[in-house]
Structure 1
Amino acid sequence: MTGHVRISFAAWGATVLGSLVLTPVFSGPFLFISAFFCAAVTGVGIGLQNLRVPRFVVPVVQLVVLVELIAFFFLRDTLRFGLVPWKQTVVEYNQQLVNAMDSINRFSAPLPPDSHLTLFAVSVISVTGLLIHLIAVQLKQAAWAGLLLLTMYTVPAATVHGGLPALLFIPPAIGYIVLLSAEGRTRLSRWGRRISGVSHLDAAEPVEASALGQAGRRIGLSVVALAALLPALLPALPEGVIGNGLAGSGAGNGVGASISATDPMLDMGKNLKRGDNVTALTYTGGPSAGTYLRLTALDLFDGNTWRISPRQSGRKISGDLSGPPGYTGDLSKVQTTKMQIDVSRTFRSQFAPVPYPLHSISLKNRWKYDASALDVVSSNGQVVGGQNYNLTSYDMRPTAQQLFDSTPGGEPDQYTSDVPSRTDPKIKDLAKQVTAGAKGNMFEEAALLQKWFRTDGDYVYSTENGHGSGMRALSDFLLKNKSGYCEQFATGMALMARTLGIPARVGIGFLPGQAGKDGQHIVRMHDMHAWPELYFQGVGWVRFEPTPPTRAATTPSWTDSAGAAINTPTTAPTSAPSTPGDGESPDISKPKNPKDVPDTAGAGPIDAGNWFTNGGGKAIGLMLGVLLLLCIPWLIRVLTRRKRFARAPGRAGVEGLWAEIRDTTRDLGLDWSDTATPRQIGDWLVSELPADAHPAAVRLARGLEAVRYAGLTDLQVDLRAEARTVRKALWGQAKFVRRWRARLLPPSWRWYLNRGSSEASDLLDEFDLALARLRSFLLPGRGRHAN
């Protein structure tokens, strides 16, 4: 086998073994497809090199073959003439990867065997295999291929909650060793014939094992052992160090949650499913029962994701903000309420949590607001974590009658009425069916939609079953599984409202939180929430609550009497209309969460716990673990000594007692000689021991000498009493400090580690010899001169 063929096969094997780290993340046949694709690319490379094709041409042809395989297997409908990738192929491939990344960031592992996820996994593995082949075979730098194997590890490290199994490090390590061995053997073969290795201990052994192979296998064993043991022994990094920045580790100390301006919905879902329930913020003031705090509003839905629409440059905060959009009443007659918000440093958001509609806020420099959404956002990318600010909001309380009397008007913007063209017609039919009793009144339609999601539609709240807010996910949620979390409920109602001609958007923010002392409310990361906001002419944007009572206990006050409003004569409003507010004093006492509902309140804010729950228990556990680790040498010595003295009289028993005396002298710091004979050691012991122990030392040394050299096999040879006498005398002669060191950290236990490595080396010798025999049997013609 030529050198490049050997390395090519090794590169393929390293890629396949390295791809095993993706099994906790993906499901389905992605491993088999990837192995086939990599084998095809490897075969093309071997064939081209055998044909003496220029080196730079080989990876180009391999890339073409890989693209064709991926397109044919996954994107066949976009190919020209059923074979040639075209522009549509690139567009669809990009869309599939976007969907895959969205799913990876949104959902917990293991991911479902969806086609776009399989395509992503196969692409990652196949491209990695191509690059490994390029680096190891074409560039002849196999050692650098380990970095590519590491890139595949970043995917599960960023998505698997709780860390990866330690044994999962072994297959990539073996693959890397095989690749290095193949390259090393190829390099060595260029120097000529290999120098034969030593045969087994038996000089008459007809076959020999390669010395290079022996050394490589010993190095490989060490590397694999380190790969398996180090991850288990070293402290685990917090989840999110590589890819998931949403983990936390306790109240006030966790990494917290991140809400970006690019995809707030995605970040919210990640926090609800993976983030720890650390404190996000505390606030005082506002309604006595608490208030919803909003971060931003998502008004653009392209059929795949809900996002913030393109905005003009935000307005500088100076004095009062502009009035709530859509409101036509007299704002001077609307009461305001004051609040103070203290945001935890664990909450990394470019948006400031505020009630809606906001009147004024103390955040000035480097903060701006959007007039259409009234959200407050950083102007330079800084986060709100650690900020403390005061604000004033409008305390608006619309009534069901005011909303019922609202007449249809112009659209508030160009986004919130758009219904994607690929919306499932069954969703539109469902919306009409649910709102049939509203007789065309927009508010009654909205109220019936809310009631449908909370009670009548048999929907279930669960963070385990939510699969995003794209069109396919919404169709499954609305029409089939009926199980999801606040994202699905909010986006599902918003989409259905749009199909009925009601402008709608989705608000992202927090539930009111939990009441504490002195009017303070504590809001935690799992209080993050999404809700729909619907637009009514003259009133503005109004919040609704479709999420079931297991998550949101109450609905806004203006929806409580929605059914009675339809029978009430239409009259002109007697007071100024109002927009969605926080004055409805929502009841924040939530029912006990079912198993699949995240804990939205966490630990009670009033009970701060005790020293044990606030870190004392962990400290005690850590101390006990350290003590247990320090006791391992002592435990080894105690168990070994008991085993030796419990052994039956005879040759093995005498050898064990002699070994115990040897270890005792080493533990006490005495110079035991491994090259001396038993008689010489006996004379040395006599010089070290008091006179009353001399006979026992002499009998022990003579007994071992007789067993070893005189062929004594008498089973009645019992020297345990002599060994105890000698050991007791050695301990009596030692200093106090040395005795305690021998008890707590006996030096002799390190000898067992050396013995273990020696025995492992003997096993590897047997393995090397077995491989040599197998090679000689399969390739008898090569004999001792096989390369």
Structure 2
Amino acid sequence: MTGHVRISLAAWGATVLGSLVLTPVFSGPFLFISAFLCGAVTGVGVLLQNLRAPRIVVPLVQLLVLIELLSLFFLNSTLKFGLFPWKGTAIEFNTQLVNAMDSINRFSAPLPPDSHLTLFAVSVISATGLLIHVVAVQLRQAAWAGLLLLIMYTVPAATVHGGLPALLFIPPAIGYIVLLSAEGRSRLSRWGRRISGVSHLDAAEPVEASALGQAGRRIGLSVVALAALLPALLPALPEGVVGNGLAGSGPGNGVGASISSTDPMLDMGKNLKRGDNVVALTYKGGPDVGSYLRLTALDSFDGNTWRIAPRPENRKIDGELAPPPGYNGDLSKAPQTKMEINVSRSFRSQFAPVPYPLRTISLKRDWRYDASALDVVSSNGQVVGGKKYNLSAYDLKPSPDQLHNALQGGPPDEYTSRVPKRTPQDITDLTHEVTADAKGNQFDEAVLLQSWFRSSGGFTYSTDNARGSGMPALRDFLLENKTGYCEQFATGMALMARILGIPSRVGIGFLPGTSDKDGQYTVRMHDMHAWPELYFQGYGWVRFEPTPPARVATTPSWTVGTGSDSINPSTAPSTAPITPGGTEDPLIDKPNGDRNLPNDSGVAVLDQGNWFTNGGGQAIGISAGVILLLCIPWLIRSLTRRRRFSRPPGRSGAEGLWAEIRDTSRDLGLDWSEISTPRQSGEWLLTKLPAEAHPQALRLARGIEALRYSGDVNPSTDLRAEAAAVRKALWSQARQVRRWRARLLPPSWRWYLNRGSTEASDLLDEFDLLLARLRSLVLRGRHAN
């Protein structure tokens, strides 16, 4: 077998073994399809190299073959003449990958065996296999292929909750070692005939016995051992390092939640579906019915994602913040509320949860605010978790008549009125149909939209909708399945408002939470929520609530009243609580089984626990684990000694006793010689023992010598008494520090570890022998034919 063929096959094997790390994430036949496609690409590369094709041509042809195979397997309906990939193939491939990334971000592992997810997994594995082949075979740099294998770790690292199983680190390590070995053998073969030696295990079989071969086997063994043990010994990295969450601590147990500035909507969906329902924050003050706490507002929609629009530099917090944008009233006469907010360490966000519109806040030094959204964000990357701050906010409650009579004006900015060009016409037609009774009044149109989502439109609240808020997902939500959670309801109403010419954006934050008898509100992670904010001239941004009563029992007070009674009969005032956790209207038919529904939040646990639940138990557990880890050498040494002295008299029992004297000497810092005979070791013992123990030491050494070398000695000779006396004498002669060291960290235990490594490496020598035997059998069969 030529060198490039051997390396090519090793590269294929390393890719297949490395792809095993994706099994906790994907399901279905992705592994078999990937192995076949990588094998086909490898075969093409081997064939072209055997035909002496130019080096630059090989990867290009391999890439074309890979594109053709992926198209035949997954995109055959887009092929021209049923064979050639075309423009439609590239568009469909991009669409499938976008859908796959969205599913990966929104579904929890393992993912369903959908075609777009299988295509994504196969594409990642096959592309990685092609790159590994190019690096290892074409560029002859197999060592760098290990970095490419790490690419496949990024997907499970970002999606698998709780970390990867430790055993999954072993197959990629083995594949990498095989690849390095194949390249090393190919390099050595260019120097001439391979040097072989005679193994101490089998003198009849040629195995590589050089120092290079032995070192390679031991390095390989160490890599595999580290791959298996290191993930189990090191603490798990927080998911947010590469994925969607950050571990936190604080009130409650489990993993907290995180909100990033790049895609807050996506983070909110993940926290609602996957996160533990731990306490996010508590607050006192504010309105008697509680307060919505907003993190930020998403004002830019490109047809695919709702994001924060580009902003000018945030302002420093110094005294009062800027007035609410668009509000023309006299703020000096506007009612105000004061609040004290205590954020749990479980909540990891660079945005501070605050009511809207905010007036003042005690966060100053490293915090800034945006004048258009009045959200408060960290300026140096720190999170709000663990912060406690005071604030004041305006309690603006425009009446329905005021909003009904609001004048129509220009948009407040260039983003919040923009309707994506690819908005389907049927969504536009539906919007005008739902709001036809408003006769062009923007506030009445907004109330009709809210009522349609909450009651008359036939919508169902459920977090099972994982398609998100892009244009295809919104069309499906508005016109087809009509099932979603707050993300779909908020973004759906915001888009329809823009179609009607009403500037809109989407607020991300928390529902008010649940209160106790002392007036303190507790907000949990599952109280995360999204709602639309619509702009009315003279009153600024006004919150609406399209999410059905199964999630939020009541609507804002300004959406019910004289100005809208005739067009919104279904939104009568309710005495039901405004947030999950209280007693709800018995007429509301509330779905069961969804953890995002009110009945899952339960009664807030206001007791912050005791020292045990607030970290004391964890500290005790860690301390016990450390103590247990430190006691492992002592435990192994004690069990070994007890087993040796419990053996019956005989050669095996005597050798165990002799080994015990050897290990005791090493534990006490004495220089025991491994190459000395029993008689020489006995004479050495006499120099270390008191005179009263000399007879026992001599009888023990002579007994071991006789059992080893004398043919007529009694094999049932019992030397346990002599061994016990010698061990006791050695122990009595040692200093107190040596004794404690011998108990806690006996050096003989480390010697056994080294010996175990050597014996394990010898297993690799046995493996070499097995390969040699198989090779000789194959060659013998060929010669016979």
Class of the TM-score when normalised by the shorter of the 2 chains:
0.7 to 0.9
Following superposition, the deviation at residue 32 of structure 1 comes to: 2.4
Q: Secondary structure at the match of 1:369?
A: coil
Query: Which segment drifts farther, 342-351 or 524-533?
Result: 342-351
Q: Distance in 2 between matches of 1:778 and 1:474?
A: 64
| 1:167 is the counterpart of 2:174 | no
- Give the alignment partner of residue 369 of structure 1, picking from 371, 383, 386: 371
Q: Is the 8 A contact 1:524 1:602 kept in 2?
A: no
Query: Which segment drifts farther, 482-491 or 662-671?
Result: 482-491
Q: Secondary structure at the match of 2:663?
A: helix
Distance 1:350 1:225, change over 3 A: closer
Q: Distance in 1 between matches of 2:556 and 2:33?
A: 52
**Aligned pairs for 1:469-618 within 5 A:** 469-470=469-470, 473=473, 485-491=485-491, 506-513=506-513, 523=523, 525-533=525-533, 543-547=543-547, 551-552=551-552, 554-557=554-557, 565-566=565-566, 586=578, 589-590=581-582, 596-597=595-596, 607-618=607-618
Instruction: Give the aligned partner of residue 259 of structure 2.
Output: 258
Q: Is the 8 A contact 2:295 2:508 kept in 1?
A: yes
Following superposition, the deviation at residue 621 of structure 1 comes to: 1.6
Following superposition, the deviation at residue 2 of structure 1 comes to: 1.4
Following superposition, the deviation at residue 319 of structure 1 comes to: 7.5
Q: Distance in 2 between matches of 1:678 and 1:350?
A: 72
Query: Which segment drifts farther, 310-319 or 618-627?
Result: 310-319
Instruction: Give the aligned partner of residue 235 of structure 1.
Output: 235
| 1:449 is the counterpart of 2:453 | yes
Q: Is the 8 A contact 2:513 2:524 kept in 1?
A: yes
Q: Is the 8 A contact 1:287 1:585 kept in 2?
A: no
Distance 1:144 1:312, change over 3 A: closer
Following superposition, the deviation at residue 182 of structure 1 comes to: 0.8
Q: Secondary structure at the match of 2:394?
A: strand
Instruction: Give the aligned partner of residue 33 of structure 1.
Output: 33
- Structure 2 residue runs of 5 or longer lacking an equivalent are 570-574, 585-591
Q: Secondary structure at the match of 1:631?
A: helix
Instruction: Give the aligned partner of residue 185 of structure 1.
Output: 185
| 1:14 is the counterpart of 2:14 | yes
Distance 1:267 1:208, change over 3 A: closer
Q: Is the 8 A contact 1:645 1:720 kept in 2?
A: yes
Distance 1:293 1:11, change over 3 A: same
TM (norm. structure 1) is 0.81
Instruction: Choose between structure 1 and 2 for higher RCO, CA contacts under 8 A separated by at least 6 residues.
Output: 1
Following superposition, the deviation at residue 220 of structure 1 comes to: 1.5
Instruction: Give the aligned partner of residue 122 of structure 1.
Output: 122
Residue by residue over 1:236-284, the C-alpha shift from the partner in whole angstroms, topping out at 9 and shown as x without a partner, is: 2222223445443446999962332x53311322343456777766665
| 1:337 is the counterpart of 2:336 | yes
Instruction: Give the aligned partner of residue 397 of structure 2.
Output: 396
Instruction: Give the aligned partner of residue 111 of structure 1.
Output: 111
Q: Distance in 2 between matches of 1:481 and 1:145?
A: 46
| 1:2 is the counterpart of 2:2 | yes
Matching residue's letter, 1:61: V
Distance 1:349 1:653, change over 3 A: closer
**Aligned pairs for 1:197-212 within 5 A:** 197-203=197-203, 205=204, 208=207, 211=210
Matching residue's letter, 2:268: M
Q: Is the 8 A contact 2:455 2:548 kept in 1?
A: no
Q: Distance in 2 between matches of 1:361 and 1:480?
A: 44
Q: Secondary structure at the match of 2:239?
A: coil
| 1:293 is the counterpart of 2:297 | no
Query: Which segment drifts farther, 135-144 or 422-431?
Result: 422-431
Instruction: Give the aligned partner of residue 572 of structure 2.
Output: none
Matching residue's letter, 1:258: I
Q: Secondary structure at the match of 2:149?
A: helix
Matching residue's letter, 1:449: F
Instruction: Give the aligned partner of residue 689 of structure 1.
Output: 689
Distance 1:107 1:762, change over 3 A: same
Instruction: Give the aligned partner of residue 775 of structure 1.
Output: 775
Matching residue's letter, 2:197: G
Q: Secondary structure at the match of 1:531?
A: strand
| 1:709 is the counterpart of 2:713 | no
Root-mean-square deviation (CA, aligned residues, Å) is 4.9
Q: Distance in 2 between matches of 1:357 and 1:723?
A: 84
Distance 1:427 1:626, change over 3 A: farther
Query: Which segment drifts farther, 23-32 or 680-689?
Result: 680-689
Instruction: Give the aligned partner of residue 639 of structure 1.
Output: 639
Q: Secondary structure at the match of 2:672?
A: coil
- Structure 1 residue runs of 5 or longer lacking an equivalent are 570-582
Following superposition, the deviation at residue 604 of structure 1 comes to: 6.4
Following superposition, the deviation at residue 102 of structure 1 comes to: 3.1
Instruction: Give the aligned partner of residue 753 of structure 1.
Output: 753
Matching residue's letter, 1:733: Q
**Aligned pairs for 1:49-448 within 5 A:** 49-203=49-203, 205=204, 208=207, 211=210, 215-244=215-244, 246-250=246-250, 257-260=258-261, 262-273=262-273, 285-298=285-298, 304-307=304-307, 335-339=334-338, 353-357=353-357, 367-370=369-372, 374-376=373-375, 385=384, 390-396=391-397, 398=399, 442=445, 443=447, 446-448=450-452
Following superposition, the deviation at residue 180 of structure 1 comes to: 0.7
Q: Is the 8 A contact 2:300 2:307 kept in 1?
A: yes
Q: Is the 8 A contact 2:78 2:88 kept in 1?
A: yes
TM (norm. structure 2) is 0.81
Following superposition, the deviation at residue 187 of structure 1 comes to: 0.6
Following superposition, the deviation at residue 287 of structure 1 comes to: 0.9
Aligned residue pair count: 760
Q: Is the 8 A contact 2:26 2:109 kept in 1?
A: yes
Q: Distance in 2 between matches of 1:29 and 1:528?
A: 37
Query: Which segment drifts farther, 749-758 or 508-517?
Result: 508-517
Instruction: Give the aligned partner of residue 580 of structure 1.
Output: none
Following superposition, the deviation at residue 635 of structure 1 comes to: 0.6
Distance 1:418 1:634, change over 3 A: same
Q: Distance in 1 between matches of 2:205 and 2:389?
A: 82
Residue by residue over 1:180-238, the C-alpha shift from the partner in whole angstroms, topping out at 9 and shown as x without a partner, is: 111111111111111222145343x2554575665533321221111111121122222
Q: Is the 8 A contact 1:21 1:156 kept in 2?
A: yes
Following superposition, the deviation at residue 170 of structure 1 comes to: 1.0
Instruction: Give the aligned partner of residue 575 of structure 1.
Output: none
Q: Is the 8 A contact 2:244 2:258 kept in 1?
A: no
